[in-house]
Amino acid sequence: MVATPRQRIERVAADILARDGYNGMGLKAVSDAAGLPYGSIYHHFPGGKEDIAVAAITARGVWITGLIEECFSDGVNRASLHAMFAFMADRLERSEWLDGCAVGTPTLDGSSESARIREACNAAFDSMIEPIAAALRRQGLRRNAAHDLATTIMATYEGAMILSRAQHSRAPMKIAADSMIRLLAAMVPAR
């Protein structure tokens, strides 16, 4: 399926946001990476940079949520947690430790400048946490406990990503995954 110009802008903007954050996302870089004339950016996103960032964060959040739903379709367990954390470790390593998360990275800088960016990041994180919480509820955890553990898993994942980028190492992702497996074992009743 061929991407529309708007979708191309969203995709490249999400990649730039993951690497450079909101403050590092220039519209010229977006138009160049999308292969579109600079003026077309404003045709598709009249609000400019903020509109592009909100759309990119939202679209990438939907895509990541789909990956998380697939990852945890059989429950939250050793294999699914290792797969989740290894996905980011692989992405970081392939990018030579430059690419982060298109939701997490702009949260660090864009959310302090724009309520719309903060709200888009928050909504994306909420949608990413929910499939993990749903899987935990299916495994017997009560609603609040499932949400709390899912939030802890996501927060640990994002923090480990930052450490892995700083250290140029997969180790923080592996340590975090192993810690979440131990926490899961302590909180979820064995079946």
Is 133 within 8 Å of 146 (Cβ atoms)? yes
- For range 140-155, the mean pLDDT: 97
pLDDT of residue 6: 93
Domain interval for residue 20: 5-187
pLDDT of residue 179: 98
- For range 5-30, the mean pLDDT: 94
Q: Is the pLDDT of residue 11 over 70?
A: yes
pLDDT of residue 86: 97
- For range 142-159, the mean pLDDT: 98
- For range 107-131, the mean pLDDT: 91
Is 180 within 8 Å of 76 (Cβ atoms)? no
pLDDT of residue 110: 66
Q: Is the pLDDT of residue 15 over 80?
A: yes
Q: What percent of the chain has pLDDT over 70?
A: 98
* Each residue's pLDDT tens digit, 27-75: 999 999 999 999 889 999 999 999 999 999 999 999 999 999 999 999 9
- For range 141-155, the mean pLDDT: 97
Q: Where are the alpha helices (DSSP H) in the chain?
A: 5-20, 27-34, 38-44, 49-71, 78-94, 104-109, 115-138, 143-167, 171-187
Residue 30: partners with Cβ closer than 8 Å, 6 or more residues away = 9, 12, 13, 16, 41, 52
* Each residue's pLDDT tens digit, 97-110: 999 999 999 998 86
Q: Give SS3 for 50.
A: helix
Count of structural domains within the chain: 1
Q: Give SS3 for 98.
A: coil
Dmax (CA) for the chain in angstroms is 58
DSSP 52: H
CATH number of the domain where residue 89 is located: 1.10.357.10
Is 109 within 8 Å of 23 (Cβ atoms)? yes
Whole-prediction pTM value?
0.93
Tokens 């909101």 belong to: 22
DSSP letters for 144-180:
HHHHHHHHHHHHHHHHHHHHHHHHT-SHHHHHHHHHH
pLDDT of residue 164: 97
The sign of the dihedral angle between the CA atoms of 110, 180, 66, 143 is negative
Q: Is the pLDDT of residue 160 over 90?
A: yes
Q: Is the pLDDT of residue 169 over 80?
A: yes
